[in-house]
Structure 1
Amino acid sequence: MKWIKKIGSMPILPKIALTFLLVLTPLFYVGLQMNESGASLVRQEIGTSLNSRVELYMDILNSDFDRVIRMMREYVNDEDLMKLSTFPEIMPDIDRTEAILRLKQKMDLMKSSSAFIENAMVFIPKMDRIVSSNANAITDLDLGMFKALSGQPDPLDYPFTFWENRVFVTIPFGLLDGAPQFLLAVEISSNEITSILKQFTPDGSAAVLASNQSVWTTFREGPLKPTKDELAQLNPMMEGPTQTISIEGIDYLIAGKKSDVLHTKLIMMVPIKVIEKPLDRYRNWTFAWFGVSVLIIIAFAFVMYRLIHRPLMRLVRSFRKIEQGRFDVSVEYPFTDEFGYLYKQLNAMVRELKRLVHEVYEQQYRARLAELRHLQSQINPHFLYNTFFILYRMARQEGNESIERLTKHLGDYFQFITRDGAEEVTLASEAAHAKTYTEIQSIRFSNRITVQIGEIPAEAGQMGVPRLILQPIIENAFEHSLEKRAKGGLLEVDFRVTESELLIRVEDSGGIDEEKVTLLQGLLNGLQDVADTSGMINVHRRLQIKYGNAAGLRLSRGELGGLKVLLVIPIQEVTPNVSIARR
């Protein structure tokens, strides 16, 4: 515990350096373990790849030589070969020549059937001739070569014959005076085998293809020169996983494969140092990285202390002032680096906080004021006493039917504005209330004013909207435009739904100029106090408080010559299926 306290009392510079070293140490350990694991994995993958190469190359040899041997066995029964090897002297010259040419074509075909064939030939003792696929199609019989290639004890079990450092596949046929009647022979191209073997052998490695009697071919990169004793040492390792062996003081990773068809074995060897050379380089880089990292950490800790700690303390002090509610904080920084950006954003944040606090306060004030204005507008004294005067005049004139209509509309009107419950109603209910209001006003103004209210789209009837947003707009049209006209007044109301908005148009024919429209729109968009403004501004503020700046009223001069008011409500903000508030 004492050493923990001692570390805690150390200055920040050694703390930073020590912290980075503690973090770096496990990373370095993990890096070394990953390097060792990678080395093991690479060795395993190289061994697997080496085994795959050996098997693939041996499969290629088995396939090619098996095809060649089967073709040679088919040619044993060739009619031309039988005639030429049995009684060539009784054949007409033309027939004998044609038979030799056909036999030459077959030798050419056999040679072209495999890239490993150097020459295909047939020895015919009766004719004392050799027919081959080389340029000289017919040559004199080489008796020494014929005897050497005919001496294979069991050509069906092991068809390969070695003569003068050359490898042949031979099939003798019949015996005549102790010698074969004819001999089919294919010379194997050691150069082609070596070339293909080179393609399968990694750089710096070695490969040996040998039989029990002799070494066919070797391909060497580096100091490897295996002897017969060393080859004998490799025989037990022909099958199974790759193993490690030491030859001339050098360790090799070896893989081998035996062919039961060809009675040969293929051995590939890769020096261990060739495999681990890239890994050693990575291991050295790991140690170098750790050493350089230590130096960088020390330098970085010092620079970080100078460049970060001091500006950070200024930020901390500024945040403490903001915590205390002081929004007059302004931090200056002479540079344009990251701390300059942080200081700039801090100042912007303080200004935004100050504005938001003021805005929240103002919105709360406006919300309370809108609620108060709404309650006050529920019963309009001017409208109320005018209605009573109408009742008075109608009663004097004994218009009983008109009184019945008026009282019915008055009942509906006061029922809607005095009910409690939800703050929202359906658009259909709001439109019905507005229509009730226009019916009352139509009785008041008789034939002076005509009201046309359009149908609500089917998909919009049950949308929820704030209460009393349409009737105050219509009331504004009557009070400020239509009631001044002696005749011919017209008020139109229609509803439209787009993909993103609900639009309600209220337009009158009262007459208004563009200057007045611009003044009214500016009043709607202004930030001044609205305590004494009209119901239209009240509706505009209520819509914006509820739905945001995308909602509200849009004013313009209509085609009828009067004011056109467009109520805009974002469709995604509208609540569907709002139930009607209880009475």
Structure 2
Amino acid sequence: MKLIRTLGSLPILPKIALTFLVVLTPLFFVGLRMNESGAGIVREEISKSLSSRVELYMDILDSDFERAITMLREYMNDEDLMKLSTTSEIMPDIERTESVLRLKKRLDLLKRSSSFIDNAMAFIPMMDRTVASNANAITEFDDEMFRDLSQPADPLNSPFTFWNNRVYICVPYGFVNNSPLFLLAVEISNAEISSKLKQFTPDDSLAVLVSNTMAWSTFASARKPSKDELAALSPMEEDTLEEEPSKMIVLDGVKYLIASERSDSYNTKLIMMVPSDLVEKPLERYRYWMFAMYAASVLIIIAFSFGMYRLIHRPLKVLVRSFRKIEQGQFELSIDYPFKDEFGYLYRRLNATVKELKRLIHEVYEQQYRARLAELRHLQSQINPHFLYNTFFILYRMARQEGNENIEKVTKHLGEYFQFITRDGAEEVSLDSEVAHAKSYTEIQSIRFSNRIEIKFAELPQQAEQILVPRLILQPIIENAFVHSLEKRAKGGQLEVDFHIEDSELHIRVEDSGGIEEEQVARLKALLNDSDVTTTTGMINVHRRLQIKYGGSAGLQLSRGTLGGLKIVLVIPLKETSSHA
């Protein structure tokens, strides 16, 4: 706790620097650990790659050797070779020459079958000649070479025969008096094998193809192998690779990665030895860069912390002083900041907030005054309508006493009309009250237009009388019919209002005979469904209020009626959904 309090009391600059170091140090060690893990993975992958390379090249060699031996065995039954080995003395010269040429072509084909074959030869003692694939088709018979190469090879040891520092694969045929009738042999090209090995071998590395007796070895290296390297690679020594495909050994203080592949078919082994520096140096360089990056990061953190102190601490001081003045009720302040960064935004917002606070304080006092004035005017507005519709009722009683029936009806309906639209209360009324108000309006219009307009107003179904609806949804629709259609007719005007219940919905139909075209109906529908229209009276007002309250299919439906005018159907669900209750 004491340490925490001590660290918490440090200035901002040391806190920032320590925070970054605390965050960076674990990341550095994690990165170092990842580097070591990655180095191990790279070593393993390189080792696998080296083993795969050695295995691939060994497979190539085995395939080529197998193909050469197979072709040699197939040539054992060559008709020309058999004739030359048994009946060449009695063959005509032309026939013998043709047989030799055909044999030469087959030997040429055998040589071209593998890049590792340097020469293909057929030793024919009866002819005392050797047919070869090299430039000289027929050469003098070499008794010593024929005798040495005719010795049967040990199939459990190696199919190769070594003679005069050269490697051969030999197949003798038909021993008579311990001497074969003929001998087929191919010479393996050490130079070609070494050349191919160099293509598979990295720089400063060593590759060697050896037999079990070490009588034959082919090196591929840019340098001459040392005695220790030869001893390590010698198959006559104890197997240094044990059962592992690759491993690390140390020779003369230098680490080497060794991979090998053995050919059980031909008792040969391909060994590749790569200095570990080729693998370790890039990884070691990367590790040095990690330490250098950490040291550079520490220096950058110190410089960054100092810059953060200058960029953040100073502007914060100004903000703190300004807030203290605001706490003391000093709203006459304005702070300046020359830049348009985050602190510039905060300074500008603080200045705007102080101005807004001053305005709101002023508005609070003004609003209190206006609220009292509005309350007084509201009381006055309640008195005036009451006086108005009470006066209509007085006129109604006076007209009744005088016996003037029309004045009596008009004053009665006007009183009910203004009583409905001016009374206080909820924004919703029962549907029978809304219909009664609409009827009062139509009665007044009926007296006004006398015999010019015929009005049919159906009775409201009893089950729909007490449902609550927004005020003034039916009368504005009827008024729209009078103002825009029926007032223009000199006679024969018709207005019908009826009610139908369909699928738990109440449909109120208002239809007139004022005449309207389909294009006008389509235009009114588009206007009704346009959410950008800001009109708040008439049809749009009623449609929007019904949709807001009930949602779904509620609202107005417009069409051209059978009377020739506009037909408006108000759709009101009898059961409100929970989302629009």
Do these two structures clear the TM 0.5 threshold for a shared fold by scoring above it? yes
In 1, the alpha carbon distance for the partners of 2:72 and 2:106 equals 10
Q: Which residue of 2 aligns with 1:229?
A: 231
| Matched-pair contact (CA < 8 Å) for 1:481–1:508 | no
* Separation in 1, partners of 2:133, 2:387: 126
Q: Deviations over 1:485-539 (max 9, x none)?
A: 464889999xxxxxxxxxxxx99999xxxxxxxxxxxxxxxxxxxxxxxxxxxxx
Tell me what 2:309 maps to. Answer: 305
Report the Cα distance in structure 1 between the residues aligned to 2:352 and 2:424, rounded to whole angstroms. 47
* Structure 2 match to 1:273: 277
Q: 1:572 and 1:338, CA in 2 relative to 1: closer, same or farther beyond 3 A?
A: farther
Local SS of the residue matching 1:295: helix
1:207 is aligned to 2:176: no
1:45 paired with 2:40, answer no
CA distance in 2, matches of 1:119, 1:100: 16
Equivalences for residues 315-334 of structure 1 within 5 A: 315=319, 331-334=335-338
Distance, in Å, in 2 between the alignment partners of 1:474 and 1:246 is 105
Report if the CA contact (8 A) 1:167-1:216 is conserved: no
Alpha-carbon distance between aligned partners in 1 of 2:326 and 2:475, rounded to the nearest angstrom: 44
CA RMSD, 1 decimal: 5.6
How far off is 1:193 after superposition?
A: 2.1
Q: Flag the structure with more relative contact order, 1 or 2, with Cα contacts below 8 A and sequence separation at least 6.
A: 1
Alignment check: 8 A CA contact 1:167 1:187 kept: yes
TM-score w.r.t. the length of structure 1 is: 0.65
Report the more deviating stretch, 253-262 or 157-166.
157-166
Give the direction of change, closer, same or farther, for the CA distance of 1:74–1:508 in structure 2 (3 Å limit).
Answer: same
Paired AA for residue 211 in structure 1: S
Alpha-carbon displacement from aligned partner over 1:59-79 (angstroms, at most 9, x marks no partner): 222222122212211221222
| TM-superposition CA deviations, 1:7-57 (whole Å, max 9, x none) | 333322222223322322222222322222222222222222222222222
Structure 2 counterpart of 1:242: 246
Shift of 1:160: 0.9
Mapped contact 2:434–2:472 kept (Cα < 8 A): no
| Match status 1:283 vs 2:287 | yes
Deviations 1:518-562 (A, max 9, x none): xxxxxxxxxxxxxxxxxxxxxx9xx9xxx9x95654599xxxxxx
Query: Hey, what does 1:74 align to over in structure 2?
Result: 74
Identity %: 51
Quick check: 1:111 aligned with 2:111?
yes
Cα 1:92/1:381, change in 2 over 3 Å: farther
Letter in 1 for 2:220: F
Question: Corresponding residue for 2:567?
Answer: none
In the superposition, relative to structure 1, how do residues 382 and 178 fare at CA in structure 2: closer, same or farther (>3 Å)? farther
3-state DSSP of counterpart to 2:126: coil
Question: How far 1:91 moved relative to its partner?
Answer: 2.6
Amino acid corresponding to residue 216 of structure 1 in structure 2: S
Indicate the residue corresponding to 2:480 in structure 1: 477
Structure 2, unpaired ranges of 5+: 456-467, 498-509, 515-526, 553-572
2:428–2:471 contact (8 Å) kept in structure 1:
no
Measure the CA separation in 2 of the matches of 1:234 and 1:250: 20
- Contact 1:161–1:168 (CA<8 Å) still a contact in 2? yes
Q: 1:276: how far off?
A: 0.8
Tell me if structure 2 keeps the 8 A contact 1:552–1:567.
no
Kept in 2: contact 1:71–1:110 (CA 8 A): yes
Partner of 1:197: 197
Task: Describe the SS at the equivalent of 1:270.
Answer: strand
Counterpart of 1:33 in structure 2: which amino acid?
R
| Alpha-carbon separation, structure 2, partners of 1:178 and 1:251 | 53
The one-letter code matched in structure 1 to 2:75 is Y
| 2:145 partner SS | helix
SS of residue paired to 1:90? coil
Q: Are the equivalent residues in 2 in contact too, given 1:17–1:301 (CA < 8 A)? A: yes
Pairing 1:125-274 to 2, within 5 Å after superposition: 125-154=125-154, 158-213=158-213, 214-221=215-222, 224-226=225-227, 228-232=230-234, 233=237, 235-237=239-241, 239-274=243-278
Instruction: In structure 1, list runs of 5 or more residues that go unmatched.
Output: 453-464, 494-505, 511-539, 557-562
- 2:128·2:141 contact (CA, 8 Å) conserved in 1? yes
Instruction: Give the counterpart letter for 1:14 in structure 2.
Output: P
Q: Which residue of 1 aligns with 2:563?
A: none
Distance 2:211 2:232 in 1: 14
Structure 1 residue aligned with 2:96:
96
1:436/1:316 CA distance change after superposition, 3 Å: farther
Query: Which residue in 1 is equivalent to 2:14?
Result: 14
2: CA distance between counterparts of 1:234 and 1:424?
Answer: 106
* Equivalent position of 1:524 in the other structure: none
User: Aligned partners of 2:274 and 2:106: how far apart in 1?
Assistant: 42
Q: Does 1:339 align with 2:343?
A: yes
Partners of 1:287 and 1:479 lie apart in 2 by 92
Q: Deviations over 1:448-489 (max 9, x none)?
A: 79899xxxxxxxxxxxx9945854653663686668646488
- Structure 1 counterpart of 2:266, which letter? L
- Once the two structures are overlaid, the 10-residue window that deviates more, 235-244 or 59-68, is 235-244
Structure of greater Rg: 2
Q: TM-score, normalised by structure 2?
A: 0.66
Q: What amino acid is the match of 1:117?
A: I
1:434: how far off?
A: 9.6
